[in-house]
């Protein structure tokens, strides 16, 4: 990326439960001065209505650029468009499976495919449990292709007092994978644990 360009992150939000993760990624990008390129899937719009009081327009307003899920000619569909990589938060099993096959049917999975082919970080915050063998094999395939499988699991050592703190810790640790350090993350040896001077 040229020195004159701001850092950009592609943010995919699929229809899995846990839309709060994607919303906080967008908030974090704004706080960090990172240009966010949002792709909100059609299924995610349904999850949004079930899990929050926000509208699709409210979510689009959180992003620097909001792309239509069917716009496969968008900037993020091209490898020549420089980005730090892409995060899918949350990532549904359908989205994960589509990325693994390379048979993409939307801008979200096309952008993920481009991220992999350009050897940029692709972080998938997969939301599903329990996992059957097909899920696990798909994750192995994605890991072999270069993706990072990062399910949003609670970090109890950080002693979260609220659901929001649990979400922020997972989001912040995922952003670490792009070299982005977000203030809400509680870190071992600094905020907590040995040598921290914390609790």
Q: Is residue 190 part of a domain?
A: no
Q: Is residue 50 part of a domain?
A: yes
pLDDT, one tens digit per residue, over 27-36 is: 999 999 999 9
Number of domains in the chain: 1
Distance CA 83, CA 157 (A): 32
pLDDT, one tens digit per residue, over 80-103 is: 999 999 999 999 999 999 999 999
Cα angle, residue 115 at apex, residues 85 and 124 outer, rounded to 5° = 70
Residue in 49, 56, 121, 51 with CA at minimum distance from that of residue 85: 121
Distance CA 163, CA 142 (A): 29
Q: Is residue 158 part of a domain?
A: yes
Q: Is residue 121 part of a domain?
A: yes
Secondary structure (DSSP) of 100-155: HHT---SHHHHHHHHHHHTT--EEEEE--SS--HHHHHHHHHHHHHT-EE------
198, 191 Cβ separation under 8 angstroms: yes
Name the phi and psi angles at 111, rounded to 5.
-65, -35
Q: Is residue 131 part of a domain?
A: yes
Find the radius of gyration of the CA atoms of the chain: 16
Q: Is residue 186 part of a domain?
A: no
Q: Is residue 188 part of a domain?
A: no
Which structure tokens are listed for 61?
Answer: 């307003």
Q: How confident is the model at residue 162, as a pLDDT?
A: 97
pLDDT band at 5 (very low <50, low <70, confident <90, very high): confident
CATH number at residue 72: 3.40.50.1950
* HSE-up (13 A, CA, CB side) for residue 174: 35
Range of the domain at 82: 8-176
Q: Is residue 185 part of a domain?
A: no
Which structure tokens are listed for 1?
Answer: 């990326």
pLDDT, one tens digit per residue, over 97-134 is: 999 999 999 999 999 999 999 999 999 999 999 999 99
**Range with the lowest mean pLDDT among 55-59, 152-156, 190-194?**
190-194
Angle between helices 163-176 and 19-32 (to 10 degrees): 60
């Amino acid at each position: 990326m040229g020195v004159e360009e701001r850092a950009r992150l592609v943010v995919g939000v699929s229809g899995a439960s846990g839309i709060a993760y994607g919303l906080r990624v967008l908030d974090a990008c704004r706080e960090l001065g990172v240009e966010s390129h949002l792709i909100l899937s059609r299924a995610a719009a349904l999850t949004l209505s079930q899990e929050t009081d926000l509208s699709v327009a409210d979510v689009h307003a959180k992003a620097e650029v909001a792309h239509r899920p069917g716009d496969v000619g968008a900037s993020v569909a091209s490898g020549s468009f420089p980005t730090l990589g892409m995060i899918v938060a949350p990532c549904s099993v359908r989205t994960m499976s589509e990325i693994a096959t390379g048979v993409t049917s939307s801008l979200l999975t096309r952008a993920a495919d481009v991220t992999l082919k350009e050897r940029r970080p692709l972080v998938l915050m997969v939301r599903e449990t329990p996992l059957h063998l097909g899920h696990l094999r798909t994750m192995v395939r994605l890991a072999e292709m270069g993706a990072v499988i990062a399910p949003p699991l609670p970090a109890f050592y950080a002693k979260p007092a609220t659901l929001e703190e649990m979400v922020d810790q997972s989001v912040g640790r995922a952003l670490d994978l792009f070299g982005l350090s977000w203030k809400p993350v509680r870190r071992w040896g600094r905020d907590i644990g040995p040598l921290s001077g914390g609790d």
